[in-house]
Structure 1
């Protein structure tokens, strides 16, 4: 008997933890359905969508690297946030077979730091490393939360263009990624009542990728260091941050946060977030 299913697509995809998350929630809720990983190469993306569009059991897919930008232009409709960001990480098949693109990366990214964001700060600054699809969502999310953003990329001109597009208001800064590789003797001012984030929004440090070169003399005191990489979960970047005395947020926190909204789209139910601790144990086992 057929049952509803959803997928995560990307290239590579074997490292994805999304099937574990969604299948755990399906089991906890006693819902019929399944969630799988599917390797889709960039040149095959259009054919993949055409096949799935014709399958009434297919509820949609999550989208990971390197497809978040390309797939946005293949949708019949974009949710306003996805349209603003220009990147899609969740595709939903509607009852009539049309495809709607969403971006749940932005709210998923903010979820682990929401308690801090709900406080009043004199100043908020984020150093964001990377200019890809995930970085677009993160920049848009941080701009809405009134951060001054320093965006670092291999091509500073691309970083500048991204800021001008997604965060045109405010005095944001674009810089070369390798600026942060060497130590600085900059004397940070008193950061009390301020909130500083350092975010790796690039694939650097991911299994099979070069390491991220970042010297933590560039991080203001009491910064929160956030790495969206999920394989490995405890990256060298996070290990070095903890060794330097900084609080950290790993990529699993964002992954679970963005999966929450996607699961509701796919299976019509809210996931059992009270089981987050058990889910983490399962993923890390």
Structure 2
């Protein structure tokens, strides 16, 4: 949110005459999104006069809807599947990290009419690890990332920025992992999917960035025999919250972090830009979103 709009938020309320800011999450479909509950919790908790709504937008209507939203009082939106890549071509300003990742999840509509596109998924990923595993040290050893989709690109960027000395990655379609190595540099080492088990040997951070293990989907089938008990293991899947992958890692003595916190932390920068204050990610928020 711009400074003038943010200044209208005083002690959690908007001054008389100020336009109530609107924000939302845009996707197709979008009914499953937990973002309205998440942002709604913050709005209510802080007494902010604002609204956050789901916006079901077909791909063929994306450009038309996106350019109409600021005129309808929207100050920004989150973007989810299938629009995260397409919005880059529609934005006026794209952050370096969103360009490198190749996707945006947070759009801010500026007072001059321009659309600012950013990707806060990497921020959410790192903030979640720091909060749930405060002893985690990214520079302590190699990281291993399973999967090479859009979420993986955000995770790879964040891990490299955090100082991991080596990043191993494997994907069912090797070409996608090779593309990540081309885009992110020599610290990225690509492994064949058949080498998935061996890729874990010596890794101090292990990430499942695929949807495997999600409720109703195929399992993440791999052996953890090579996994060090001192590794930190995290799964971006959060339905179920405690996946088979995390339970198996804990059985080996590993510290584990679930994926819900990434969703919560990635939302905070957008809320601050749109509504003028930085919200907290705490147990009350987790309970609200899970409930």
- TM-score by length of structure 2 reads 0.83
Deviations 1:139-177 (A, max 9, x none): 1111112221111112212211212212x143x211233
RMSD over aligned Cα, in angstroms? Answer: 2.5
The verdict on how the C-alpha distance between 1:151 and 1:240 changes in structure 2, with shifts beyond 3 A counting, is same
Native 8 Å contact 2:120 2:266 kept in 1: yes
Instruction: Using the TM superposition, give the Cα deviation of residue 226 of structure 1 relative to its aligned residue in structure 2, in angstroms.
Output: 0.9
| Structure 2: gaps spanning 5 or more residues | 1-16
Counterpart selection for 2:170 from 144, 152, 158: 152
Q: How does 1:1-16 map to 2 (within 5 A)?
A: 3-16=20-33
Name the structure 2 match of 1:192: none
| Structure 1: gaps spanning 5 or more residues | 190-194
Name the structure 2 match of 1:102: 118
Is it true that 1:175 corresponds to 2:194 in the alignment?
no
The verdict on how the C-alpha distance between 1:236 and 1:14 changes in structure 2, with shifts beyond 3 A counting, is farther
Name the structure 2 match of 1:284: 290
The verdict on how the C-alpha distance between 1:40 and 1:229 changes in structure 2, with shifts beyond 3 A counting, is farther
Shift >4 Å, 4+ stretches: 186-189
The verdict on how the C-alpha distance between 1:111 and 1:156 changes in structure 2, with shifts beyond 3 A counting, is same
Counterpart selection for 1:139 from 156, 159, 167: 156
Native 8 Å contact 1:157 1:174 kept in 2: no
Is it true that 1:45 corresponds to 2:62 in the alignment?
yes
**Paired residue secondary structure (2:97):** helix
> How many residue pairs were aligned?
270
Name the structure 1 match of 2:14: none
How many Å separate the matches in 2 of 1:151 and 1:176? Answer: 9
Name the structure 1 match of 2:144: 127
